[in-house]
Amino acid sequence: MSDSSLRLVWVYPDLLSTYGDQGNALVVERRARQRGLGVTRVDVRSDQPVPTSGDIYLIGGGEDRPQRLAAERLRRDGGLARAASNGAIIFSVCAGYQILGHEFINDLGEREPGLGLLDVVSTRGDGERCVGDVLADIDPRLGLPQLTGFENHQGITHLGPTARPFARTVLGKGNGTGDGTEGAYNDTVFGTYMHGPVMARNPQIADLLLKLALDVNALPPTDDRWYEALRAERIAAATQPA
């Protein structure tokens, strides 16, 4: 795989990078290099145009005002939407996940248009925030082990008919709708509320994005002992009685 090369784009780290979500970019980059893949990582700040030639785009979480600013600039820029139409792989977390939907509630209490790359609509819940560890079974069609992560959000995300649940919760609130769904995806665009960072806890997600970007069914094996130890530790901590 040494002849292959990938372009990894980390979108708006100055606005959307809470709870260590930039770790997702580090994990994808490392997992690629472990397979001998050449990787060019591009960190795109909010005052820069989003390139349309990337293979994998990552978006993190953020507070309410930065989320609104990010949505406004992404709509105006148009680069991420064009990349999606070209078949790029996009993985988003929390505020980034809401931005990829049709709309969400911004810091002014108003409905803010999203990018419409996922068939979801996010509102703001009236009850307690969704906070704590999450365990969830990822859609079997994706062929991944149980998801472990950490959620901290007030939003509630409703899935439309063309969005598939990324996972079904065993523990935690997920999308907050009470139906057990967590996140959403279509063929190339993914969203989740999971921090952690989620790919450090679940490196198989990074591998999935790599396989989709390379259009291959499998990747060479790597040494996953560190990742598996972290997964086991976090799953055990989440399932221990309070």
pLDDT tens, position by position, 84-106:
999 999 999 999 999 999 999 99
The Cα-based distances of 233 to 120, 170, 211, 229, 238 in angstroms read 32, 17, 27, 6, 9
Active site residue 195: yes
Active site residue 153: no
- The pLDDT score that the predictor gives to residue 239 is 87
**Residue percentage of the chain with pLDDT more than 90:** 89
3-class state of residue 185 by DSSP: strand
Neighbours of 127 (CB within 10 A): 9
pLDDT tens, position by position, 182-240:
999 999 999 999 999 999 999 999 999 999 999 999 999 999 998 899 889 989 988 88
Boundaries of every domain in the chain: 6-239
What homologous superfamily does CATH list for 6-239? Class I glutamine amidotransferase (GATase) domain (3.40.50.880)
- The pLDDT score that the predictor gives to residue 1 is 45
Q: Which residues pair with 152 in a beta bridge?
A: 131
In the predicted structure, residue 23 carries a pLDDT above the cut 60: yes
3-class state of residue 16 by DSSP: coil
Binding residues for substrate: 129
Q: Which of 102, 153, 158, 195 is catalytic?
A: 195
The packing angle between helices 203-214 and 23-34, to 10°, is 60
Mean pLDDT across 155-178 = 97
Q: How far apart are CA 30 and CA 28, in angstroms?
A: 6
Q: Which of 94, 102, 153, 158 is catalytic?
A: 94
- The pLDDT score that the predictor gives to residue 133 is 94
In the predicted structure, residue 41 carries a pLDDT above the cut 60: yes
Binding residues: 129
Confidence of residue 60 (pLDDT cuts 50, 70, 90): very high
